[in-house]
Structure 1
Amino acid sequence: MTAQAFRFAPLALATLIGCLCAMSAQADEVQVAVAANFTAPIQAIARDFEKDTGHRLVAAYGATGQFYTQIKNGAPFEVFLAADDTTPQKLEKEGDIVPGSRFTYAIGTLALWSAKDGYIDGTDQALLANKFTHLSIANPKAAPYGLAATQVLAKLGLTDKVKDKIVEGQNITQAYQFVSTDNAELGFVALSQIYKDGKVTAGSAWIVPDSMHDAIKQDAVILKKGANNPAAKALAHYLKGPKAAAIIKAYGYQL
């Protein structure tokens, strides 16, 4: 190394350290409550989000109704990705979110699913035949996908006929698990749990027409605890961008 290069090396090193420190200072962590149906998409989004922004997303998964209770009881969540639009609206009216931060990040799709190939023929016939022993749904009081499932059963005139066959999960993840572990022959799940890149990934399914239940508009909000966290604001912005949109659509959601 020449004397001139040696003289400039400490300056270059100091500049590099300064840049790294600046990046570290700008990187923050955001605590996110995520509706169970959105588990796979947010995990994919989180990887890109961290790579593109430097911020880290720490997610908890569960039922929207349960998250509402936890938030009201002081849980440390900074962003909430709900499975409906009514719960975020309620939090907004109660003053628990950053004003103006609520937006719809996805519109969910309900599916009737069996882990067995060919059990469902792409229509509602397996449901109407009523030859199954157990039908899995999510808790309709806590999970919007569970509420949508009860609306479908009512529309088909099956509410009373299948009420003794229903096994109820706390959230849509547990409803899915009942079917995937053969504790129920079929069940209502979020399409995102069984769908990727334009096709059902396992078993057989009926994609329920939107007209058979209330729209599953899924809203996101920045909670008051995230008001001063740059990572919370960055995540809300990122969810509206093209990279997140592509992932969300790949899992069968509408935008």
Structure 2
Amino acid sequence: MKKLIGTIVLSLSLSTASFADKINVFAASSTKLAMQEIIENFKSKNPNDEIIASYSATGKAYAQFTNGFQYDIFMAADTTYPNKIVSDKNAIAEPVVYAMGVVALYSNDKELIKKGIEALKDDKIKHISIANPKLAPYGVAATEILENYDLLDIVKNKIVLGDNIAQSVQFVDSGAAEIGLVAFSLIKTIKKEEEYVLVDPSKYKPMEQSFVLTKYAKEKPLATKFASFITSEESKKIFEKYGFGIK
């Protein structure tokens, strides 16, 4: 009898495993809070499937991908890198915009935030945190904002660069920088309203955050399934909840 039960359990385990699937997803740091909730919701409906998510700067992940790291879905903070993957013939579909990035001015000093972008001229500010524009689209946006407000030359010696936008938030949290230009999606749900102000979106190019199914997703139905979930109404509400714009 014990042998029979063991055989049945093994058979059921193998049967369950045969329906399980696993994919690797790169997601830009700005999406981390939203994506954690989206993945949790997806897994509640698909408990046998595994989504392995990695979060970092888009440029850094693109370099990893071109050096052979097998991301099945590449979720960037812009359209530039997904388009590169397509032009390199390393994608099986065109990029899809999943959310619009929003930039906020963030500080633990509420008096600075009351001044808005003009606060960056304040003498009490010694360090301004932004993401590295060579690696992160939010760093590019921050640079555009400073240029469009004619502030870049004034504050350039105060700028500290995060490897990704999450680190830029951490610099402000830790006091390493008094203020920062960061992703609204990383602070909306966990910071007080008086600690941030949204930057005029006309001061930076629209941040169409896009994903692409890479060549590694070709024979992985789970990749297509999860990609559809990312663009579902359920997921759009989650992105919006965390401060992203929705097209």
What TM-score results when the alignment is normalised by the length of structure 1? 0.87
Instruction: Please tell me the residue identity of whatever aligns with 1:32.
Output: V
Structure 2 equivalent of residue 204 of structure 1: 195
Instruction: Please tell me the residue identity of whatever aligns with 1:247.
Output: I
Structure 2 equivalent of residue 126 of structure 1: 119
- 8 Å contact kept, 1:117–1:202: no
Structure 2 equivalent of residue 241 of structure 1: 232
Within 5 A, what are the aligned runs for 1:122-161? 123-161=116-154
Cα deviation code 1:207-246 (max 9, x no counterpart): 0121110111111011111111122111101011122111
Following superposition, which runs of at least 4 residues in structure 1 exceed 6 angstroms of deviation? 16-20
Matched position secondary structure for 1:119: helix
Gap change, CA 1:114 and 1:72, over 3 Å in 2: same
Matched position secondary structure for 1:124: helix
- 8 Å contact kept, 1:122–1:205: no
Structure 2 equivalent of residue 110 of structure 1: 103
Structure 1 segments unaligned to the other structure (5+ residues): 1-9
| Alpha-carbon distance, 1:57 to partner | 1.1
In 2, Cα distance between the equivalents of 1:42 and 1:56? 14
**Aligned-CA RMSD value:** 2.2
1:92 aligns with 2:86: yes
What TM-score results when the alignment is normalised by the length of structure 2? 0.90
In 2, Cα distance between the equivalents of 1:80 and 1:183? 31
In 1, Cα distance between the equivalents of 2:217 and 2:193? 38
Cα deviation code 1:169-217 (max 9, x no counterpart): 1111111111110000001110011002xx8447611201211101111
1:193 aligns with 2:186: yes
1:64 aligns with 2:58: yes
Question: Higher mean Cα deviation, 216-225 or 113-122?
Answer: 113-122
Gap change, CA 1:52 and 1:176, over 3 Å in 2: same
Percent identity among equivalent residues?
A: 33
Matched position secondary structure for 2:78: coil
In 1, Cα distance between the equivalents of 2:110 and 2:175? 13
Structure 2 segments unaligned to the other structure (5+ residues): none
Instruction: Please tell me the residue identity of whatever aligns with 1:176.
Output: V
| Alpha-carbon distance, 1:52 to partner | 1.3
Structure 2 equivalent of residue 38 of structure 1: 31
Gap change, CA 1:201 and 1:36, over 3 Å in 2: same
- 8 Å contact kept, 2:144–2:204: yes
In 1, Cα distance between the equivalents of 2:236 and 2:93? 24
In 2, Cα distance between the equivalents of 1:182 and 1:120? 15
Instruction: Please tell me the residue identity of whatever aligns with 1:53.
Output: N
| Alpha-carbon distance, 1:26 to partner | 2.2
Matched position secondary structure for 2:109: coil
Structure 2 equivalent of residue 180 of structure 1: 173
Gap change, CA 1:203 and 1:171, over 3 Å in 2: farther
In 2, Cα distance between the equivalents of 1:35 and 1:94? 20
Question: Higher mean Cα deviation, 51-60 or 67-76?
Answer: 51-60
Q: Give the greater-gyration-radius structure (CA).
A: 1
